[in-house]
Amino acid sequence: MKKNKIIFVSITIAMLILPCLCLSFVKATGETESIDLANSSMETAFTNVQAAQQVGANVTQLLARLNNGAVLLTQAINSYNGGNMANVTINAENARSIADQVNNDAINLKNNTINQSKNNFLLTTLLSVIAASIFVFLLVLVWRRFKRSYLNKKLALRPEGAENAS
């Protein structure tokens, strides 16, 4: 009888403690997940910002916004490491939200910069070809004129005897 009572009390205590343990585990998992998601969003956003920079875009503003997100992510990670779960999820989700916005802006900026670069390249090439053609044309004109005056000068310098002989 006493043994049954002990088993009953043990089961009751276990039933009370288990949900609490599960809840704290789920909570910790949720916080870890939100940090991981924020970190992943930051990395994706940075990859696109760097890609935009590589095609010649000015990414100063995007990096400043990413840094705001990085501050929040840092706070979330350090609070989690310190065991203070109060603002971990909120900070991580705010960081993720900033990263997602920056990511979209970076993709748009990259596409705009690529189009602008293409136009700039075509315009520069066209102007270079036109300028080089005009230069070559003028140089040929100058050369022909120079050649004519050079030959006239040479003919004028020919001796009389040589002219009669021919």
Binding-site ranges for other proteins (CB under 8 A): 42-43, 46-47, 49-51, 53-54, 59-60, 63, 66-67, 70, 73-74, 77-79, 81-84, 120-121, 124-125, 127-128, 131-132, 135-136, 139, 142-143, 146-147, 150-151
Give me the amino acid identity at 53.
Q
Rounded least distance, CB 140 to other proteins, Å? 8
Closer of 11 and 151 to other proteins (Cβ): 151
Nearer to other proteins, 13 or 142 (CB): 142
Quote the least distance from Cβ 60 to other proteins, whole Å: 6
Long-range Cβ pairs for the range 95-98 (8 Å, 24+): 95/38, 95/41, 95/42, 95/69, 95/70, 96/34, 96/37, 96/38, 96/41, 96/42, 96/69, 98/65, 98/66, 98/68, 98/69, 98/72
* DSSP code, position 64: H
Q: Which is nearer to other proteins, 59 or 94 (CB)?
A: 59
Query: Which one, 156 or 165, has the nearer CB to other proteins?
Result: 156
Shortest separation between residue 9's beta carbon and other proteins, angstroms: 33
CA distance linking residue 110 with residue 54, whole number of Å: 9
